[in-house]
Each structure stands twice: as C-alpha cells, then as structure tokens.
Amino acid sequence: MWAFACGAIASGAGIGERWFPIALGVLLAGPLLCGTSQAVNDWFDRHVDAINEPHRVIPSGRMPGQWGLAIAIAMSVLSMAVAALLGPLVFAAALVGLALAWGYSAPPFRFKQNGWVGNGVVGLSYETLPWITAATAALGHAPSTRTLLIALLYGIGAHGILTLNDFKSIKGDQQMGVDTLPVLHGAQNAARIACLVMAIPQACVILLLAQAGLQTGAMLVGVVLALQLLCMIRFLGDPEGKAIWYSAVGVGLYVTGMMATAVALGSLTLPAPPLG
C-alpha cells in the first residue's frame, strides 16, 4: 500500500478526479494482493509454523481442512477482478505480483527455500512493482529513468527487511530445510548483510536526489538513514533478540524515507506557480 502511494505521489500527477482509482489501487496493493501473499504463505508454511508459531490459525487447528488454501485461491480471484477494473497495465502488474506471491511459497518454485532469491522476489514485488505501476498509471506513460531507478533501489533495500523477518523462525527453518540468510550464514552475518542491503540503496537514493537538485529531499532521507544506522548498532549487538525491535523501528524509518523521496520526486513535475 505504502509503495503504491509513493509511486502515485512521485509521479507528480494531480490526483484530483483520479482519487478513486488511486484509492482502489492502494486497496489492491495492500489488503488484496499483499493479503493474498500472506494467505498463500500461511498455507504452504503450515508445517514450519507448527514448529515456530504453533498458535497461528492453521497449525493450531482453528482453521481446519483445506480452508487456508481455499481462502488463498478466493483472494487471488478477487484481486485479479479488482485489478481488471483498473485497466490492462495494472492488471498485468497485478498478475506478475500474484505469480511471484504463489511462486514464493508454493512448490515447485518455492523461492523462499533460498533466502537470497526469495527475499529478492518479495522486495521487488512489494516495493518496486507497485511503485512503478502507480506512477505509470497516474502519468499514462512510463515514469522517468530516475524514478524507475529509485523504485528499484527501494526494492533491493527491502531484501534486508525480509531478512529481519527470518530471525524469528530460525529453528523451524533449520528443521524444515528452508535456507534463509540466518540459516545459511548465521545470525550475526545475516544481520550485517541485512543492514548493508538496507543502507546502501538508501545512500544511492540520496545521491540521486542531490544530483537532481532535490537537496531538501536528500537531507531528509539522509537524516532518516542516520537514525537507522544508530538503530543498526543496537541490532547488531543482539541480532536474534533485537530483530523484532529493529523491524518495527528501522523499517518504519526506511518507509518514511521512501515517502520523503516520493514527495521530492513529485515536486519535480509540479507546474510552476503563476507569475504576478
């Protein structure tokens, strides 16, 4: 939802009469497509969740039989029906996102089996894809190369966000053969990788904003990144104990920087004020 809103704002196109399709796009990106991806993941991860989080609705038995799978399928159909209302471009983007959501969790692909691949897929589909889709839908054509690159950078940085989520399930992932970064490289090294993967793309965004003459935006993202770096020091001191804390604080700062970037980019295309 946040990435779609960022894309719409970054386009610089006036919302005006387009508020309804933009709001519908936010609904599609968030509760529908993101919700679908969670439903799919809950079903195909039910055996891992039985070890890590047995209280969840499927492993606890509160949702019996194949209801979890049925919900994932029903939400997929509903998502594509809503996407069809927003035109062929959004429908195609939603179809790609939905395919990645199923491929992430479901065999035979099950991208999540490797943390490098799975986290990359989710980062690009959660951040880059909705950002570009919203900007293109708002403009009626592809956004600038700068906007495309920044959307890609934030998607790459989200790889680190997904790694943070893997710290809470190390035990079950090890038993079930899910090679997340904490399983592959150990908690300390995975924490270092997550921090670097989140920080470097944001530093590149700062440079791109400064190059475009968007000094205020660059400064705001710089402040947000500096605060994250301070939080990273605490996180690296106890990765397993502080992963949930850093997910809340660090990711909140990360997406704040995304919105600051979107507002800055949007100002590039705003009409100049009338003279006199």
- Could you give the domains of the chain? 1-141 (1.10.357), 144-269 (1.20.120.1780)
> DSSP class of residue 108?
T
pLDDT of 150 strictly over 50: yes
* Cα–Cα dist 124/75, whole Å: 21
Of the pLDDT bands very low, low, confident and very high (cuts 50, 70, 90), residue 21 is: confident
The pTM (predicted TM-score) of the whole model is 0.88
The half-sphere exposure of 241 on its side-chain side, counting CA atoms within 13 A, is 4
pLDDT of 12 strictly over 90: no
Of the pLDDT bands very low, low, confident and very high (cuts 50, 70, 90), residue 17 is: low
- Which pLDDT tens digit goes with each residue over 161-204? 999 999 988 988 898 888 999 999 999 999 999 999 999 999 99
pLDDT of 15 strictly over 80: no
For residues 18-36, give the mean pLDDT.
Answer: 88
* Cα–Cα dist 140/109, whole Å: 34
